[in-house]
């Protein structure tokens, strides 16, 4: 059930992005994805996006260096922050709370913080799913339990 809701929500966001493209410049839609590792469940995000429009280009930002990812996102139409492991509790002032969390991915936390900042600067639409919601919350000063 939860996967069906995510698929439906991603489809609505993609359709809205397509509708926002100007008629004068019908370019290929490019979506930056914070992490879409081949062979893992993360690939579902690309499948969902492609199910709406196969011409959409999906760029997995995780395997780029942060500087490269920031350069790439400048040519994207939106940012998808995917689900995954927990955000490092030190990001929201609870360094001692790591016993209840997955092994932290410090690179991913740093990458997503940088991508969120750049997306906001560029006024790009951002969609967070699961962990993506959490990192957005933490980015804007929130905490997690």
The helix, strand and coil proportions of the chain, stated in percent and rounded to the nearest 5, come to 50, 10, 40
| Domain at 2-18+28-139: CATH code | 3.40.50.880
pLDDT in tens, 21-59: 544 445 789 999 999 866 555 567 888 888 888 999 999
- The helix (run of H) or strand (run of E) holding residue 60 is strand 57-60
What pLDDT shows up at residue 63? 92
The answer to whether the pTM exceeds 0.75 is yes
pLDDT at 68: 97
Provide the H-helix boundaries in 30-130: 43-52, 66-73, 106-122
Task: Tell me the domain boundaries of the chain.
Answer: 2-18+28-139
Give 28's contacts (C-beta < 8 A, 6+ positions apart).
Answer: 55, 56, 57
pLDDT value at position 47?
86
Distance between CA 135 and CA 46 in Å, rounded?
A: 20
Percentage of the chain modeled with pLDDT above 90: 55
Q: For the segment 12-23, what is each residue's pLDDT rounded down to a tens digit?
A: 555 555 555 544
Residue 98 and residue 87 in contact, taking contact as beta carbons nearer than 8 Å: no
In this structure, the chain runs to a length of 145
**Residue pair 12/58 in contact by the 8 Å Cβ criterion:** no
């Amino acid at each position: 059930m939860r996967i069906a809701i995510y698929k439906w929500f991603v489809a609505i966001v993609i359709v809205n992005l397509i509708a926002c493209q100007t008629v004068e410049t019908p370019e290929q839609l490019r979506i930056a994805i914070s992490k879409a590792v081949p062979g893992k469940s993360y690939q579902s995000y690309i499948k969902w996006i492609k199910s709406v429009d196969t011409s959409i280009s999906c760029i997995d930002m995780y395997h780029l260096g942060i500087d490269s990812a920031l350069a790439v996102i400048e040519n994207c139409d939106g940012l998808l922050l995917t689900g995954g492991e927990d955000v490092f509790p030190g990001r929201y002032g609870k360094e001692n709370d790591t016993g209840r969390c997955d092994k932290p991915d410090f690179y991913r936390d740093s990458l997503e913080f940088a991508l969120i900042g750049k997306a906001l600067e560029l006024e790009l639409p951002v969609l967070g799913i699961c962990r993506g919601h959490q990192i957005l919350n933490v980015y804007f000063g929130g905490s997690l339990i």
